[in-house]
Chain A
Amino acid sequence: MSQVSPKNRFSNRALPWLVPITLLVVWQLAANLGWLSVRVLPAPYNIAKAAWALAASGELWTHLVVSSRRALTGFAIGGGAGLLLGLATGSFRKIETLLDTTLQMLRNIPPLALIPLIILWFGIDETAKVFLVSIGVFFPVYLNTFHGIRSVDPALIEMAKSYGLSGWSLYRDVILPGALANILVGVRFALGFMWVLLIVAETISATEGIGYMTMNAREFLLTDIVLVGILLYALLGKLADVAARALERAWLRWHPNYQPGA
């Protein structure tokens, strides 16, 4: 066992924060010295104040809840469909032959290019936003699930069959766990993409949500609130990433790459 000294551990923890904190201090000083116009870039302190005011009035939470609900609904629909279809095409040649070519063609359409069509179909209400997110997260989950199933070690499948596993038990004990690492890569990618798509959707049109909050603030030249919105998106993106990593750590405990000390 290699022992890390407490001092060393502290500097390892603290070191990554050195640059951001320095930047923040410089930024604040620059604002205080009048080098930065408040219109262009308000001081960190002012942004924090604006965030505090929004949180205190409850406005922040309303927008946060609305945005998160859109994102998660879209993720559940698109990701769920991607997972199911990926499992189906990965597991059954017939279904692959039937669907894969179509899906590979559709995959080349950037989801953002669909926005005009989506507005035509759904107008600019909730459905349009959820639909855009769903489409966007579908493909990363689908492709990685398909690939994951296909790359399960055939030697393990052969072994399991010779030990009497078949059907659902083969799927549960061998194929799904074997594909899981890949599936989670897709999930992580999708979670990142989910917020990007939501930002675009909410920026185009919304009457609630973080995107609405920032666009509204822009009209009134409230740069501090715009920055609060941007930081909020960053925070949510980070949160999604942390969640994905937690899933990986929980479900891939067996994997040498995810074991503590690895």
Chain B
Amino acid sequence: MNNHPNETAAVAASAPASGTALHIADVVKRYGEREVLKQISLDIAPGEFVAIVGRSGCGKSTLLRLIAALESYQSGVLHYDGDASDSRHDTRIMFQDSRLLPWKRVLDNVALGLPRDAKDNAQRVLGEVGLADRGREWPTRLSGGQRQRVALARALVHKPRLLLLDEPLGALDALTRIEMHTLIERLWREHGFTALLVTHDVGEAIALADRVVLIDEGRITLDLRIDLPRPRARGSAAFAALEERVLAEVLKQHGGVPAANPQQPGEEPGDHSLRRTVDQVRWAV
């Protein structure tokens, strides 16, 4: 996979103005008796890149599926640019399994849901993810990383203003993941959408996100701003310190020590944690 994309100029011209502003307040989601999300509140600025981390089963996917309107919720508020529904259908979701239609060729998968005359558009976006010459292929013939890039192209071709990524790289090998990080970061910068990435890889979260949000047992227990300059070098001490900090929080016993940064209602999210983080980083270095 060394056919890396290089069509930045073409993209910048067609990039949408900005991303969706997301406002989530006191959202509660129950499956039967089980309360999976307990009063989640989260504000995401337009164009922001937020990573959600947490143990398996803590409700990350559920939160993403609520935002994608694939799931209903019991109470709370979910606003897209101040609207109660994503009325312009500007949200696209990408899953861990690429969910490509095996009976459609790669290009037709990218063009799914587009009008018939949008093939050129699909072809262009396929080029953006570095697969311009694979459009005629069947998806089963692609590698896992290539399939995820097709899925990414399929999402991007709709010019989403909010892109939801549910562990999209979870099944990929380490090298492919790093390639995908570069690709996702570049596309995010060029397109300007708001990105919400669920991942179980703390390093991935810190490499990509403006903010890392930790969910534990259906609550947000950490909301950490990552102010490292991009592109981020994983080797740096600041990076390692942040990674350490998030991991320590993830590994903290449930019910024991109170969570470091339970978000207060009305409080500007992120600010508080920012100051703490900087202190800690300084201390760590």
Q: Which residues of A does B touch, CB under 8 Å?
A: 155-156, 158-160, 162-165, 173-174, 177-178, 180, 252-256, 259
Q: Is there contact, CB below 8 Å, between B101 and A155? A: no
Total of A-B residue pairs, C-beta within 8 Å: 49
Q: How far is the CA of A162 from the CA of B155 in the complex (A)?
A: 10
- Report whether B102 and A255 are in contact in the complex, using a CB–CB cutoff of 8 Å: yes
Tell yes or no: B246 within 8 A of A by CB. Answer: no
Query: 12 more A-B contacts (CB under 8 A) besides A156-B99, A254-B139?
Result: A160-B101, A162-B93, A163-B92, A163-B113, A165-B112, A165-B113, A177-B101, A178-B103, A252-B103, A254-B138, A255-B103, A256-B140
User: Which residue in chain A gives the minimum CB-CB distance to B91?
Assistant: A162
Q: List 16 A-B contacts (CB under 8 A).
A: A155-B95, A159-B95, A160-B101, A160-B112, A162-B69, A162-B70, A163-B92, A163-B113, A163-B158, A173-B104, A178-B103, A180-B103, A252-B103, A254-B105, A255-B103, A256-B140
Residues in B whose Cβ lies below 8 Å from that of A162: 68-70, 92-93
Main secondary structure of the interface of A (DSSP, over half): helix
Per the CB 8 Å criterion, the residue count for chain B at the interface is 21
Of all chain B residues, the one with the shortest Cβ separation from A169 is B113
From A163, A164, A173, A254, contact of B140 by CB (8 A):
A254
Among B70, B102, B103, B158, the one with the most A-chain Cβ atoms within 10 Å of its Cβ is: B103
Alpha-carbon distance A178/B69, docked complex (angstroms)? 24
Q: Which residue of A lies closest to B139 (CB)?
A: A254
A155 and B99 in contact, given A162-B70, A163-B113, A163-B154 (Cβ under 8 angstroms)? yes
Interface residues of B (CB under 8 A from A): 68-70, 89, 92-93, 95, 97, 99, 101-105, 112-113, 138-140, 154, 158
User: B interface, by DSSP: helix, strand, loop or mixed?
Assistant: loop
- The answer on a CB contact under 8 Å between A254 and B68 is no
Complex interface: chain B residues within 8 A of A173 (CB): 101, 104, 112
| Given A254-B138, A254-B140, A259-B138, CB of A159 within 8 Å of CB of B104 | no
A168 to B187, CA, bound (A): 33
Interface centre among B68, B89, B113, B158 (most CB of A within 10 A): B113
Q: Which residues of A contact B103 (CB under 8 A)?
A: 177-178, 180, 252, 254-255
Return the chain B residue nearest A174 by Cβ: B101
Neighbouring B residues of A156 by C-beta, 8 Å:
99, 101
Q: Choose among B99, B104, B138, B139 the residue with the greatest number of A CB atoms under 10 Å from its CB.
A: B99
Evaluate whether A159 and B99 lie within 8 angstroms (CB atoms) in the complex, with A164-B89, A164-B113, A259-B138 already known. yes
Tell me which residues across on chain B come within 8 A of A165, comparing CB atoms: 112-113
CB of B269, distance to nearest CB on chain A (Å): 27
What residues of B have a CB within 8 angstroms of the CB of A180 in the complex? 103
- Name the residue in A173, A177, A255, A256 with the highest tally of chain B Cβ atoms < 10 Å from its Cβ: A173
Nearest A residue to B69, CB-CB: A162
- State the CA gap A255–B92 with chains docked (Å): 27
Shortest CB–CB separation between residue A180 and chain B, in angstroms? Answer: 8
